[in-house]
């Protein structure tokens, strides 16, 4: 165990974390120069296309130190976006140290601070690294000062490196061995292993990545997952290289994988404790269920694909513990699933993966957050409202509470005014303003989560010219004046377009949806009334006019009697179509309405 070091790489998005991890693989000969490619640990095409890490990736490196001894380095490359903080927290729990990467051209940003606090909560040894020092725009002295102010470390402890050129990578490897303590644990104690990640293999089932805190795991052992209480046989165990490397046993302090033949997503939970069935240990503290922040309905284009969509979501859930879903039905879209996501990027990634990996074309309803509704005559009854159609009637509703977040924004001082205006427009409350340096300021706001779901991040980047960084944590639930906004087509509700909005913004939001639908809906042979309503009150309306014949042009000599007969026939036809016809909202309309600000 003295020769083992477990560490993760944490940073704000786009600070060069994956590129630096590539250099560590190359320097330790874990991957040959011939096989080397950018973002070597990111195995999804989506990750390479977007240049981001979506899933944590673990790998074992063998490093020959200057003292002549060989060390085993277990590296976990973590995501940098705020939506994937849960994966970062589970990875941090499996390590004793962390490489904190800071971009020398951008400085300390919001997710840098957030990930640092996560690491400090677990008492990790922090190795600060100033990356991209080879860039012409690198601000080495200024950013070093920011790191010193943030961590309180001496300047000599900050390592300078470049993931692009490989400069400073050898010093990083030496610091990992010298500064990060070896893992603690008793190989003879009852088995106690943390599941920090899982992936799904179509041939072998679920594969769990584990960090063994105590005990020894051997091939063929009868193991138990404490969160579910189910027992399985360890069909294969091993360590994580570029590919899986089977072993006969893994001892305390090491990181590896286990294959038990599990096929159901509900039987493996990231953060759970693995132990021996005949000699169980205590569960590892800190396990908690994932708390989704954003909810949306996902429906197949064809209702016959419902079961295929269910299978696809279950397999995705194995690879992504943050995804939760349950069946739901819609009068407009048929059968589908109400899914919970960590944020809008997470939702976008799931849609892309459903399309690419499982060939599933889906329709997604308007995203919303989870609310709490209280009944007037039953004050102790709390209803979790994840779908606007589940909101109780106003006659029995006492109040509705919405989730608030604590938002942290770091920006240049010249953009303070615009950012404050944006947050106040989103019903935000300024709680703290702290100058990190004469040029950079940290703003803390309390904001309703629903206000940042759609366009907040894009507008923040736009008004700050890309210089502002954003991070948030859940805060609490607070009572708000929320109303259910219904969209009606010829007086019939379209439940897939319903939304819960603040009363002050209901009219503007309703007008926007009505105008968008007027552009998207095809004309029929009868008038289509598009209305936005709160209860029985119509607050916005647009009308799609009917397709009509040019009767006058076809009336030879202006024959009024013939013209009147034709108009009467048209009226009768319209009346019949209103009675028997059904307005169908085209699938493209649902997809385009989601693009509303």
Give the whole-angstrom CA distance, residue 473 versus residue 454. 17
The tokens describing 193, both together, are: 């292993």
Higher pLDDT: 174 or 201? It is 174
Least confident of 82-86, 114-118, 354-358: 82-86
pLDDT at residue 106 greater than cutoff 70: yes
Could you read off the pLDDT of 396-435 as tens digits, one per residue? 888 889 989 888 888 888 888 888 999 998 889 999 888 8
pLDDT band for position 28 (50/70/90)? confident
Name the CATH superfamily housing domain 484-593.
Elongation factor 4, C-terminal domain (3.30.70.2570)
Consecutive H or E run containing 59: strand 57-64
Domain boundaries, the chain: 4-179, 192-276, 294-364, 371-480, 484-593
* Count of beta carbons in the 10 Å neighbourhood of residue 22: 24
Contacts of 307 (CB under 8 A, 6+ apart): none
pLDDT band for position 95 (50/70/90)? confident
Could you read off the pLDDT of 155-180 as tens digits, one per residue? 888 888 887 888 888 898 899 999 99
pLDDT band for position 76 (50/70/90)? confident
pLDDT at residue 597 greater than cutoff 50: no
The tokens describing 482, both together, are: 């929320």
pLDDT band for position 445 (50/70/90)? very high
DSSP string, 496-532: GG-EEEEHHHHHHHHHHHHHHHHHHSPP-SS-EEEEE
| Amino acid 86: pLDDT | 65
Higher pLDDT: 274 or 92? It is 274
For residues 92 and 60, is the Cβ–Cβ distance under 8 A?
Answer: no
CATH class of 294-364: alpha beta
Angle 344-358/306-319 helices, nearest 10 degrees? 120
DSSP 3-state of 238:
strand
For residue 7, give the nearest of 160, 219, 137, 175 by alpha carbon: 175
Task: Give the domain 4-179 fold.
Answer: Rossmann fold (3.40.50)
| 141, 336, 366, 420, 579 from 328: Cα distances, Å | 55, 5, 15, 39, 28
- Decide yes or no: CATH 3.40.50.2300 for domain 192-276: no
pLDDT at residue 464 greater than cutoff 70: yes
CATH class of 371-480: alpha beta
For residues 182 and 2, is the Cβ–Cβ distance under 8 A?
Answer: yes
DSSP string, 299-333: EESSGGGHHHHHHHHHHHHHH-TT-EEEEEEETTT
DSSP 3-state of 86:
helix
In this chain, the answer to whether the domains covering 294-364 and 371-480 adopt an identical fold is yes
pLDDT band for position 37 (50/70/90)? low
Give the whole-angstrom CA distance, residue 163 versus residue 172. 11
For residues 293 and 450, is the Cβ–Cβ distance under 8 A?
Answer: no
pLDDT at residue 74 greater than cutoff 70: yes
Give the whole-angstrom CA distance, residue 71 versus residue 495. 59
Could you read off the pLDDT of 487-518 as tens digits, one per residue? 888 888 887 788 888 888 889 888 988 988 88
Percent of the chain beyond pLDDT 70?
85
For residue 443, give the nearest of 466, 462, 471, 463 by alpha carbon: 471
| 293, 301, 326, 587 from 329: Cα distances, Å | 21, 14, 10, 16
Mean pLDDT throughout 30-35? 68
pLDDT at residue 271 greater than cutoff 70: yes
DSSP string, 397-454: EEEEEEEEEEEEEEEEGGGHHHHHHHHHHTT-EEEEEEESSSSEEEEEEEEEHHHHSS
Give the whole-angstrom CA distance, residue 255 versus residue 76. 10
Higher pLDDT: 220 or 85? It is 220
Contacts of 175 (CB under 8 A, 6+ apart): 127, 159
pLDDT band for position 22 (50/70/90)? confident
| Amino acid 9: pLDDT | 85
pLDDT band for position 111 (50/70/90)? confident
* Count of beta carbons in the 10 Å neighbourhood of residue 200: 19
Could you read off the pLDDT of 582-591 as tens digits, one per residue? 455 555 555 5
Percent of the chain beyond pLDDT 90?
2
Could you read off the pLDDT of 290-321 as tens digits, one per residue? 677 788 888 888 888 888 988 888 878 766 76
Give the whole-angstrom CA distance, residue 431 versus residue 443. 8
pLDDT at residue 595 greater than cutoff 60: no
Mean pLDDT throughout 123-133? 89
Higher pLDDT: 246 or 557? It is 246
Mean pLDDT throughout 140-154? 85
DSSP string, 168-235: THHHHHHHHHHHSPPPP--TTSPPEEEEEEEEEETTTEEEEEEEEEESEEETT-EEEETTTTEEEE--
| Amino acid 484: pLDDT | 87
Average pLDDT, the chain: 80
* Count of beta carbons in the 10 Å neighbourhood of residue 590: 21
pLDDT band for position 580 (50/70/90)? very low
């Amino acid at each position: 165990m003295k020769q083992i070091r477990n560490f993760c790489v944490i940073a704000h998005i786009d600070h060069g974390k994956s590129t630096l991890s590539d250099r560590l693989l190359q320097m330790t000969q874990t991957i040959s120069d011939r096989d080397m490619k950018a973002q070597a640990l990111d195995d999804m095409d989506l990750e390479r296309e977007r240049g981001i890490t979506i899933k944590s990736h673990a790998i074992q490196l063998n490093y020959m130190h200057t003292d002549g001894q060989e060390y085993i380095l277990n590296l976990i490359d973590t995501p940098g976006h705020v939506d994937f903080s849960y994966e970062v927290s589970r990875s941090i729990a499996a390590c004793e140290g962390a490489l904190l990467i800071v971009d020398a051209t951008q400085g300390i940003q919001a997710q840098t601070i957030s990930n640092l606090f996560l690491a400090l909560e677990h008492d990790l040894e922090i190795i600060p690294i100033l990356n991209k020092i080879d860039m012409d725009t690198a601000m080495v002295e200024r950013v070093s000062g920011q790191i010193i102010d943030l961590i309180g470390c001496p300047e000599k402890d900050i390592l300078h490196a470049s993931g692009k050129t490989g400069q400073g990578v050898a010093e990083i490897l030496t610091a990992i061995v010298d500064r990060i303590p070896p893992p603690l644990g008793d190989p003879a104690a009852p088995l106690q292993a943390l599941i920090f990640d899982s992936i799904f293999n179509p041939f072998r089932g679920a594969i769990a990545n584990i960090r063994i805190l105590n005990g020894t795991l051997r091939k063929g052992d009868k193991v138990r997952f404490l969160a579910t209480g189910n027992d399985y046989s360890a069909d294969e165990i091993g360590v994580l290289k570029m590919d899986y490397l089977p072993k006969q046993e893994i001892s305390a302090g090491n990181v590896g994988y286990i294959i038990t033949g599990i096929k159901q997503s509900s039987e493996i939970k990231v953060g759970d404790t693995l132990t021996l069935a005949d000699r169980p240990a205590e569960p590892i503290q800190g396990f908690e269920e994932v708390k989704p922040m954003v909810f949306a309905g996902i429906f197949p284009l064809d209702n016959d694909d419902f079961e295929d969509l269910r299978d696809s979501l279950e397999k995705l859930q194995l690879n992504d513990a943050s995804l939760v879903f349950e069946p739901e039905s819609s009068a407009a879209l048929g059968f589908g699933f109400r899914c919970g996501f960590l944020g809008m990027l997470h939702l976008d990634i799931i849609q892309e993966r459903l399309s690419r990996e499982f060939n599933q074309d889906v329709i997604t309803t308007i995203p919303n957050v989870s609310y709490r509704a209280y009944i007037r005559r039953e004050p102790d009854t709390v209803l979790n409202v994840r779908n606007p159609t589940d909101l109780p009637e106003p006659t029995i509703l006492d109040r509705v509470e919405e989730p608030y977040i604590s938002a942290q924004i770091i920006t240049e001082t010249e953009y303070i005014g615009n950012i404050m205006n944006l947050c106040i427009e989103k019903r935000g409350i300024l709680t703290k303003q702290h100058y990190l340096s004469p040029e950079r300021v940290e703003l803390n706001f309390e904001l309703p989560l629903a206000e940042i779901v759609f366009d907040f991040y894009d507008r923040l980047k736009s008004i700050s010219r890309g210089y502002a960084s954003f991070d948030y944590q859940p805060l609490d639930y607070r009572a708000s004046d929320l109303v259910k906004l219904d969209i009606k087509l010829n007086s019939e509700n379209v439940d897939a377009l319903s939304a819960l909005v603040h009363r002050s913004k209901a009219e503007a939001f309703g007008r926007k949806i009505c105008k968008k639908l007027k552009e998207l809906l095809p004309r029929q042979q009868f008038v289509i009334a598009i209305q936005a309503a709160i209860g029985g009150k119509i607050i916005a309306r647009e009308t799609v006019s009917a397709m009509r014949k040019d009767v006058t042009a076809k009336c030879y000599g202006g024959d009024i009697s013939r013209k009147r007969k034709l108009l009467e026939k048209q009226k009768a036809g319209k009346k019949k179509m209103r009675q028997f016809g059904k307005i169908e909202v085209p699938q493209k309309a649902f997809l385009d309405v989601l693009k509303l600000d």
